[in-house]
Amino acid sequence: MQSMVFFYLETTGLDIKRCDIIQLAAISGNRTFNMYMMPQVAIERGATALTGFRVQNGKLFQNGRAMDTAILHEALASFLDFLWSLEQPVLLAAHNARRFDIPVLDRALFRCSLNEEFQQLGSRFLDTLPLSRALHPGLGSHSLPSLSNHFLGRCYNAHDALEDVTALQELYIWWDPDPLDESIFSF
């Protein structure tokens, strides 16, 4: 049996080669992980408008509320501890994982010299964006908020990583894809 872990990143922008992770959240069943990090690069205006994150006087704020932050290495090491605490192997799922979350996470793990420890997990990845498109090709939008509204009938605080992973886990359970269908695994 494997552990299904839904994860999500909030970042300083959309450039996968230079953005920093601001928030990393994950959920597996009833177990959650959520940490905020002080970015080393400026948060882009568009990202602030979307997420509400900004840095002022050396502190990270989200929608005007000061957030407790950790340094990147500490947050990633805690995330790895969370993953190791679950039943192995771990299947990591994210919405748009292939094009965004995995490259950003990989770069951060490498920067903190934690990439080998992460590889020891032997994790596989599932990108729920192409899965959503394959399961429901007639939908106009496959964004998480749109999917949550369409399938679950609820709106949520999008662009808060913990709320995003909670919605993603609920959607995946609702979709109930065949766990033996190897074609759903992106990589």
pLDDT in tens, 132-152: 999 999 999 999 999 999 999
Give yes or no for residue 178 having a pLDDT over 80: no
Q: Quick one: which of 40, 33, 71, 67 has its CA closest to 52?
A: 67
The more confident residue out of 89 and 184 is: 89
Cα→Cα distances 6→38, 82, 166, Å: 22, 12, 8
pLDDT at 36 over 60: yes
> Could you tell me if residue 130 is inside a domain?
yes
Q: Which residues of 86-125 are buried (b: 16+ CB within 10 A; e: fewer)?
A: beeebbbbbbbbeebbbebbebbbeebebbeebeeeebeb
Query: Does some domain include residue 187?
Result: no
Q: For a pLDDT cut of 90, what percent of the chain falls above it?
A: 88
Residue 75 has pLDDT above 70, yes or no: yes
In a domain, 185, yes or no: no
Residue 69: pLDDT above 80?
A: yes
Q: How many angstroms separate the CA atoms of 175 and 187, rounded? A: 20
Give the pLDDT of residue 176.
Answer: 86
Residue 54 counted as domain residue: yes
Distant-in-sequence, close-in-space partners of 107: CB < 8 Å, separation ≥ 6: 16, 17
Residue 186 domain flag: no
The chain-wide mean pLDDT, for the chain, equals 93
Contact 77, 118 (CB under 8 A): no
- Give residue for tokens 């872990």: 5
141: exposed, middle or buried (Cβ count in 10 Å: 0-12, 13-18, 19+): exposed
* CATH number of the structural domain spanning residue 21: 3.30.420.10
Encode pLDDT of 37-67 as tens digits: 999 999 999 999 999 999 999 999 999 999 9
In-domain check, residue 11 = yes
Whether 22 maps to a domain, the answer reads yes
Domain count within the chain: 1
By residue range, what is the domain housing residue 165? 3-180
